[in-house]
Structure formats: C-alpha cells, structure tokens
C-alpha cells in the first residue's frame, strides 16, 4: 500500500503527497531488471539471464530505478486517488522528490507530489419550496396556423418557377472551384436549399437574385479535401429554381395527412397539439427558472485551468486555429461562459442528487438513449454501441441523474403564472413530458456550443 496525504490549496485545487516504501517498490524494480535482461546482450550469458550487477555496469542502477518509477508512477497515483476518493479534473503536475539511491540511500522510499483541480464541495441551501413565475399557457390563432402549416410543409411538392432564387427555394446548381487558377473540384446537378448554409460560405449570397441559366463567382474557404483551409474561387451556375407548394388545407388534405375526414376535425386536433406544446414550453421555462433560483442560493468556485483546457479542446477538436473566422476572442468568451455555466449546474445538481439519493434505473437510461438516437437520426443499437465504445455511458447516466435531481427540485417548487394561477406540471414531470423537453434542450445545447 502507498501512504498519502492531501492538502487543500484552494476550494478547487489539492496537493497530494505520496510515499511508496522500498519494500513496495522492490518487486517493480526486479521486474524492470528482468525486462532489461531480455534486451541486453552480454557475452557468456543467455538472453534474459543477465544478472542485475552486470545490468548496473552497463546502464547504471539509476537508469533502472528511473524506468521502474516511470513505469509504475501512474498506478501508485491511481491507488492514492482511490484511497482519498479524489477525481482529478485536470492533468496532474507531478514532482518526484525521492527515489532509491538518492543521497546514497539505496533503500530510500519513492516520494512524489502532485497538484490538480478537483470538484468543489458545496453546502446546499434549503432548495425546497422555490418560488417560480412563468408565462401563462396561451394558444393564439397564429400558433394554430403555424402547426397546420408545418403539417402542410410535410406534404409540400417542389414546382419549377420562372423567377430569381429566393431564400427557402430549392435550386439545382453546378459548382467549379479553383485555387490559384487550378481547378480543384467540380460538381453538377446538386440540389440545395437557398439560405440553409449547409454547403459553402458565400453560396447563399451568390444564389439569391440569380435566375436559371445565370452564374456568379465568389470566394470561400474550403472545409474539406486536399485543399482544406485554402481560399478558393468558386463559380456557381444556377440550373433550375423550385419552390415548395403547400397543399390546400381542405377535407382532401385532412384525409391524406391524418385519420380525420374533415379539415375542421384536423384543426381541432392540431389545436390540442398546440396547447400541449405550449404546456411543455411552460414546463421548460419553469425548469430553467427553478435552476436560476437555485443558482442564486449557491456560489460554486470554478477551476480556471479546467476551463482553459476545455475551451482549447473545443476549438482544436473542430480543426480551428486561433484567429480564424470561427476561433475569435468573442467566440472563445462565449464558449468559456457556456462551459462555466454547465460546470456550476453539474456541481449543484449532483449535490442534490446525492442528498436525495437519486439512482438511475436501466429503463431510464434506455429511454434517454432511444430519445437521443432519434434526435441524431441513428439506429438505437448503433448509438448505444457508439456510446459504450467511447466510454460515455457513465456521462449519460450522470446527465439522466441530474435531470431527475432538477425534476425533484421543480416538483417541490411553488410555480405560478404571471396572472397568479397555480401551474400544474404533472404532465411535464412525467416521462413523456420530460422526453419532449429533452429533445428541445438537446437542440439548444448543440447550438450554444457550436
């Protein structure tokens, strides 16, 4: 066993001092001698049979000790972490202060110090009975029409139009890209929605106002291929313009798009759907405001070095370099703030989950995975396998547990609308309502960290 002591340097940083006796280290040193004996050739000795004294003559005992320490330092560190129930948030800074052979002490212990960031321990306030005020549920004629139009959009058809392209049109285009007057790529018959921003920067601006048969030239930064990151001159030729034509909202459409025979029956059902959607939005608002009220009651220190690591990883993992269009000081500040808020939320909700002794059932984890797979358009089994291979299942369990913790806070909160009416959130707090809210929140989170 290793001996260790912990010194709190700050609410989010500790110093861990570790000592390993020579008796504990000796088997590791012997294993290093054995490994080196397999690598060193000495006349008169078979491979693997070179005695330690000859290895010391060849490479020095200090070299052997150094290799034994380097090979086993992490395992000693992990053992000390387990003994002290510590989980580093950042890469530890290690300082080895003593090894066997130092100052002539052949059997001196191994000693090393490490410093790293940890999660702070927070003292929870009385979080039950929080007062939350939300907007009342209202369904306007505009909202009812919006739901109907969204359904009509699903049955829309594309028709050719003889006019300049506008935002929202579907167009057929041909592209030719050149770098330093050399053609590097071309494509014809591409289908694209003007204004979607899913292809090349500058393409939307080039297309708007063009008619079939016309072309435009613009410059853009290529995002893939052999010339990724280079500036290219792109010629776009507009081959056809099509707009989405919505079906008439009549009885025929009702029979096509639903189980109803008349448009009036369909509208009434859509009105009910719009009301349920508004109730879900009210529940999301209540949950967000409950969290806001909770955050006012607790101050959580945030390790700045951890934030810096996360921000750097965010940009480098996406292939950006500091100073490019995406990696700007303003965007870095925004991403850092998002990470800061997420960390504070996690610390508080994890503490509440501990206080409430909240567990995650297998069916809850499965429901979350099914919902997430649907949002990403993936097969649930493949999505679950991907999470498992990436080691993200514990992270998902933590997320589900924190959602349950916030739901527990919201369940005990006093929620009223701005008109003074008490709000019943039973619909929102049940699994079905929570699932709808999760889908909405996932989309928002993706946009925030983009």
Beta-bridge mates of residue 192: 171
For the chain, 450 residues long, the average pLDDT of each consecutive 10-residue run is: 92 95 94 88 78 86 93 95 93 93 85 95 91 91 90 93 94 95 92 92 94 95 83 95 94 95 95 89 93 92 91 78 71 91 94 94 91 86 90 92 93 93 85 51 50
Helix (H) and strand (E) counts for the chain?
14, 11
Comparing CA positions, the residue from 89, 90, 92, 81 lying closest to residue 119 is 89
* Distance separating alpha carbons of residues 125 and 121, to the nearest angstrom: 13
pLDDT of residue 438: 54
* Distance separating alpha carbons of residues 437 and 431, to the nearest angstrom: 10
Backbone phi and psi for residue 433, each to the nearest 5 degrees, phi listed first: -65, -40
pLDDT of residue 433: 47
Beta-bridge mates of residue 182: 179
Report H helices in 231-361.
Answer: 251-257, 263-297, 304-317, 329-355
Tokens standing for residue 210: 């063009």
pLDDT of residue 444: 47
Could you give the C-alpha distances from 28 to 61, 70, 187, in angstroms and in order? Answer: 14, 11, 62
* Distance separating alpha carbons of residues 260 and 113, to the nearest angstrom: 73
pLDDT of residue 323: 58
């Amino acid at each position: 066993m290793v001996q260790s002591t912990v010194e709190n340097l700050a609410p989010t940083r500790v110093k861990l001092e570790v000592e390993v006796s020579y008796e504990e280290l000796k088997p590791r040193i012997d294993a290093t001698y054995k490994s080196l004996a397999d690598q060193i050739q000495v006349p008169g000795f078979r491979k693997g049979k070179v005695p330690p004294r000859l290895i010391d003559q060849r490479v020095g005992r200090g070299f052997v000790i150094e290799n034994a320490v380097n090979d086993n330092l992490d395992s000693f560190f992990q053992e000390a972490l387990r003994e002290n129930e510590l989980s580093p948030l950042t890469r530890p800074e290690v300082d080895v202060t003593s090894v066997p052979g130092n100052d002539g002490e052949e059997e001196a212990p191994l000693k090393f110090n490490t410093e790293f960031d940890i999660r702070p321990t927070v003292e929870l306030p009385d979080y039950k009975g929080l007062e939350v005020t939300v907007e009342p549920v209202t369904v306007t004629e505009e909202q009812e029409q919006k739901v109907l139009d969204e359904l009509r959009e699903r049955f829309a058809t594309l028709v050719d139009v003889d006019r300049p392209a506008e935002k929202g049109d579907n167009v057929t285009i041909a592209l030719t890209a050149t770098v330093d007057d050399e053609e590097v790529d071309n494509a014809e018959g591409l289908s694209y929605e003007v204004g979607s921003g899913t292809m090349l920067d500058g393409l939307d601006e080039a297309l708007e106002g063009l008619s079939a048969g016309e072309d435009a030239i613009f410059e853009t930064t290529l995002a893939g291929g052999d010339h990724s990151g280079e500036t290219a001159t792109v010629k776009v030729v507009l081959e056809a313009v099509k707009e989405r034509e919505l079906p008439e909202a009549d009885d025929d459409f009702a029979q096509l798009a639903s189980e109803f025979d008349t448009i009036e029956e369909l509208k009434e059902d859509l009105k009910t759907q719009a009301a349920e959607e508004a109730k879900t939005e009210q529940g999301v608002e209540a949950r967000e405001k409950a969290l806001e009220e909770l955050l006012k009651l607790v101050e959580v220190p945030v390790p700045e070095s951890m934030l810096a690591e996360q921000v750097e990883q965010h940009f480098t993992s996406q292939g950006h370099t500091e100073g490019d269009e995406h990696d700007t000081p303003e965007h870095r500040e925004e991403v850092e703030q998002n990470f800061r808020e997420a960390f504070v939320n996690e610390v508080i909700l994890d503490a509440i989950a501990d206080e409430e002794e909240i567990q995650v059932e297998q069916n809850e984890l499965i429901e979350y995975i099914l919902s997430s797979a649907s949002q990403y358009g993936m097969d649930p089994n493949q999505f679950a396998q991907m999470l498992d291979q990436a080691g993200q299942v514990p992270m998902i369990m933590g997320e589900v547990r924190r959602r349950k913790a916030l739901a527990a806070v919201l369940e005990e909160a006093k929620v009223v609308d701005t008109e003074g009416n008490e709000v019943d959130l039973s619909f929102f707090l049940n699994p079905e309502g929570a699932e709808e809210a999760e889908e909405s929140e996932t989309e928002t989170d993706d946009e925030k960290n983009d």
